[in-house]
Amino acid sequence: MSRRGRVTLVVLAGVVVLFVFLGWLVDAWTDYLWFSEVHYTSVFTTVLWTRLGLFLVFGAVLGLIVWFNLWLAYRVRPLLRPHSPEQQTLDRYRMLLTPRFGLWIAVLATIVGFFSGVSAQGNWPSWLLFANRQNFGTRDPQFGLDIGFYIFDYPFWRYLLGVGFTAVVLCVLGALAVHYLFGGVRLQGAGERMTTGARAHLTALVAAFVLLKAVAYFLDQRGLVLSHNEGTNLWGAGYTDVNALLPAKEILAWISVVVAVAIVVFSNAFIRNLVWPGIAVGMLVLSAIAIGGIYPAAVQTFSVKPNIRDKESTYIQRSIEATRNAFGLSTVETTPYGATAQAPPNNLAEDADAVQSMRLLEPSIVSNTYTQLQQVRGFYDFTQKLDID
């Protein structure tokens, strides 16, 4: 690229960045004026510094992770490559990239870090909740964890897990591209299709992805408490969740750990090819479908639905108790009221005209009421608005 072209590109990039940050500064200044007016500037500054900190930390960490894996892929490149039309074509790109390869991967890592930081700063509520977590003093009946875990800790751990998956996927794609470009992975030519260094690097990344999947399965177990129970139309773990999905997640988590170890060991220590690791990953996928999908669906269809009121009674009671505790209704006192069941005949005669025009049912709530009363049976469905006349 000519000097004039580089200058033009830098100017255009600067204009785009200026417009992006100018819009952000306008919004930030407007928010500051509002918080200052209501004397809560401390809230504004806390959010501002939190977002900036998350942007810098997550941007730097993910940028460094991507940079390291691209550098490592380049570092273990083969010095000698078999001659083939494929390698002759790639030689042109290698000649172009090699002199400034460090600069290229630094630019790519910076771009990844920037977008990672932008994504992270948008999750400032999760971090502030996690950093200021408190106990509620009430434990969930399934795992015995304080309710505060699901409010303060769980969302942030979920976000971290998503960041981990994103980082590993980006590293796999970037490392695979570098290994292919510099001959570590070959599609043509004699000999092995993958060098020892490339195989060790890529299989380690795949194993890291599978280990993250194991962590996800363990988190999924806790997340069942927050799931929606389709059978009872209530929130919280139901019969199928506790008796089918919960053990399924446990089994799949440990299978993932075994598969991750098998990928690294069989690929680099014993067999040194990708056949058995590929079989291990395939078995993990099949196990996830059978144990995590088909089995819970069968339990729900053939065991729960035919006898839903009996199967879900324990979990319905849990939902009722949790709702009462959440709204402070667990200590409500019931006071009997001796209502008069019969009105004096004289009053009925006087109110005859008014009584005839009274509606016995309220149109705005009758559908929701019938749905709530009959949903445990699983037989009935009501439209949003019912005719009552």
Q: pLDDT tens, 174-217?
A: 999 988 888 777 777 666 777 888 888 988 999 999 999 999 99
Residue 329, pLDDT score: 83
Angle between helices 246-268 and 275-289 (to 10 degrees): 170
* DSSP state, residue 306: G
Give the list of residues 6+ apart from residue 26 with CB closer than 8 angstroms, or none.
Answer: none
CA–CA separation, 315 vs 307, rounded Å?
Answer: 14
Closest CA to 163 of 126, 212, 124: 212
- Adjacent-strand bridge partners of 96: none
Q: What is the pLDDT of residue 126?
A: 94
Are 154 and 167 in contact by the 8 Å Cβ rule? The answer is: no
**Predicted local confidence at residue 386, as pLDDT:** 67
Nearest by Cα to 68 from 121, 112, 114: 112
Beta bridge partners of 146: 139
pLDDT for the residue numbered 127: 94
Across all residues in the chain, what is the average pLDDT?
83
Question: Which residues of the chain are under the pLDDT cut of 50?
Answer: none
Per-residue confidence (pLDDT) for residue 112, from 0 to 100: 92
pLDDT at site 280:
83
Q: Using DSSP, state whether 189 is helix, strand or coil.
A: coil
**Residue spans per domain, the chain:** 39-78+87-193, 202-324
pTM for the whole structure: 0.78
**C-alpha to C-alpha distance for 261 and 298, rounded to whole angstroms:** 31
What is the SS3 assignment for 78? coil
Name residue 151's amino acid.
I
Q: Quick check: 93 and 181 in contact, CB under 8 A?
A: yes
